[in-house]
């Protein structure tokens, strides 16, 4: 059975251009990324040859307008790219996701024309971006920031640290959230644009993780880090707005990544159960196995359609916050369920690194943690539903 049949989405939801883009990304992922996945996972290291190819494919500036050197595409296309990369390797998928749905998105929405001219062309061509919100005491409580920013007249000076920053090792530009007026609470939070070589900035240790191992998740250190006055994204004291609204969009991207992971595990399992024999016949002939395949497929398609719906709403300029939360919630749960069932159906082989499904399962777990935990998504959904009763 061909990959095109195994991986088919609901075709009515995609235009011809989107299908062509999806197929191009799939071919790239299969040809360029897949041969490197095992080694990257084992070494917990991104293969450096892939970064230039991601830029050449236009995958690092999908929504960036052509006048800034980008592809001039849509948010939906960015999600399709994240999904297709996730189908092969979640680490490369999240690198692209953060670049597009968080960092580039923030520049497009809140950057001045000067900042767009300065950073967007480089991000479309060669620079990786990182989104820096989390700290040791600031996870779900996103605004409990201890990183401080001090106004020194002609510059800002940052002191403190960040944790769990995706793309930390590869990034050249970092969107850093710090509080310049702790007495004002969240209204003191400001978003600063920090470049890798700015004085006082250091990328610290890289975390040794369960999944997405080739993705660099790093500590960042700021010791009297000097940031030019012009390098404030949006307004001073309005960084909380950038953080909230950017993450609302980023959650759709994580949902797309989870769909990709689930799709990869599903395809591998569907092929395996038709070749694995027990008691003289393929295990796919057993009704119990068939029912589990049906459950996997149904959960996968429901997750995909929820993600696509949220992405379409975002592109249309319609409200999408609740749909984004539901998409991430459902897709991350579906990915964990589908990848776990995949291991079950592989049996003992599924528990070994010789086969792909144990990696899909490890990679899926992060979906319920980063860019808003499952409980935070539940809270968002409940609040929005209850607010309609007032």
* pLDDT value of residue 388: 84
**Candidates 63, 84, 135, 371; catalytic one:** 371
Give me the DSSP letters along 67-91. Answer: GGTS----HHHHHHHHHHHHHH-HH
Using one digit for the tens of pLDDT, what is the confidence trace for 55-108?
Answer: 999 999 999 999 999 999 999 999 999 999 999 999 999 999 999 999 999 999
Provide the CA 126 distance to its chain's centre, in angstroms.
19
Provide the CA 66 distance to its chain's centre, in angstroms.
23
Query: What is the CATH code for 3-128?
Result: 1.10.540.10
The answer to whether 300 touches 334, Cβ cutoff 8 Å, is yes
User: Where do runs of H (alpha helix) occur along the chain?
Assistant: 3-6, 16-28, 37-43, 50-56, 75-88, 90-97, 105-110, 113-125, 239-273, 287-315, 321-346, 357-364, 374-387
List CB contacts of 324: < 8 A, sequence separation 6 or more: 248, 249, 251, 252, 255, 310, 314
Query: Which pTM does this prediction carry?
Result: 0.95
Per DSSP, 201 falls in state E
- Is residue 12 predicted with pLDDT exceeding 60? no
What is the chain's length?
A: 390
56 is catalytic: no
Provide mean pLDDT across the span 310-331: 97
Q: In this structure, what token pair is assigned to residue 125? A: 């061509």
Q: Across all residues in the chain, what is the average pLDDT?
A: 95
* pLDDT value of residue 353: 96
Provide the CA 287 distance to its chain's centre, in angstroms.
36
Using one digit for the tens of pLDDT, what is the confidence trace for 121-178?
Answer: 999 999 999 999 999 989 888 889 999 999 999 999 999 999 999 999 999 999 999 9
* pLDDT value of residue 142: 80
Domain boundaries, the chain: 3-128, 130-238, 241-387
The answer to whether 201 touches 225, Cβ cutoff 8 Å, is yes
Domains 3-128 and 130-238 share a fold: no
- Is residue 1 predicted with pLDDT exceeding 50? no
Using one digit for the tens of pLDDT, what is the confidence trace for 210-266?
Answer: 999 999 999 999 999 999 999 999 999 999 999 999 999 999 999 999 999 999 999
Query: What is the CATH code for 130-238?
Result: 2.40.110.10
* pLDDT value of residue 390: 65
Task: State the Cα–Cα distance between residues 149 and 151, nearest whole angstrom.
Answer: 7
Per DSSP, 319 falls in state -
In terms of CATH architecture, what is 241-387?
Up-down Bundle (1.20)
């Amino acid at each position: 059975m061909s990959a095109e049949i195994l991986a088919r989405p609901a075709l009515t939801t995609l235009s011809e251009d989107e299908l062509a883009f999806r197929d191009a990304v799939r071919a790239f992922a299969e040809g360029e990324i897949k041969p490197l996945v095992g080694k990257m996972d084992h070494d917990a290291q991104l293969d450096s040859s892939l970064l230039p190819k991601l830029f050449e494919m236009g995958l690092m500036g999908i929504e960036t307008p052509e006048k800034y050197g980008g592809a001039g595409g849509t948010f939906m296309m960015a999600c399709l790219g994240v999904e297709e990369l996730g189908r092969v390797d979640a680490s490369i998928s999240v690198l692209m996701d953060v670049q597009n749905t968080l960092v580039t998105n923030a520049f497009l929405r809140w950057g001045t024309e000067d900042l767009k001219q300065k950073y967007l062309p480089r991000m479309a061509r060669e620079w990786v971006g990182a989104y820096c919100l989390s700290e040791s005491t600031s996870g779900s409580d996103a605004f409990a920031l201890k990183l401080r920013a001090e106004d020194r007249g002609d510059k800002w000076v940052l002191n403190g640290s960040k944790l769990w920053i995706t793309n930390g090792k590869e990034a050249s530009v970092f969107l850093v959230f710090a509080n310049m007026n702790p007495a004002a609470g969240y209204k003191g939070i400001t978003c600063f644009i920090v470049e890798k070589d700015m004085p006082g900035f250091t990328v610290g240790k890289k975390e040794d993780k369960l999944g997405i191992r080739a993705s660099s998740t790093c500590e960042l250190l700021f010791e009297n880090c000097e940031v030019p006055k012009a390098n404030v994204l949006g307004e001073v004291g309005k960084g909380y707005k950038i953080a909230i609204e950017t993450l609302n969009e980023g959650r759709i991207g994580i949902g797309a990544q989870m769909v990709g992971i689930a799709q990869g595990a599903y395809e591998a399992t569907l092929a395996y159960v038709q070749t694995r024999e027990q008691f003289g016949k393929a295990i796919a002939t057993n009704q119990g196995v068939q029912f589990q395949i049906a459950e996997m497929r149904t959960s996968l398609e429901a997750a995909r359609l929820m993600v696509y719906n949220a992405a379409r709403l975002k592109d249309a300029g319609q409200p999408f916050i609740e749909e984004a939360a539901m998409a991430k919630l459902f897709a991350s749960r579906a990915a964990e369920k589908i990848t776990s069932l995949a291991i079950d159906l592989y049996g003992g082989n599924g528990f070994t690194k010789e086969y792909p499904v144990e990696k899909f399962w490890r990679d899926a777990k992060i979906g319920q943690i980063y860019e808003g935990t499952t409980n935070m998504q539940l809270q968002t959904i409940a609040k929005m539903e209850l607010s309609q009763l007032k």
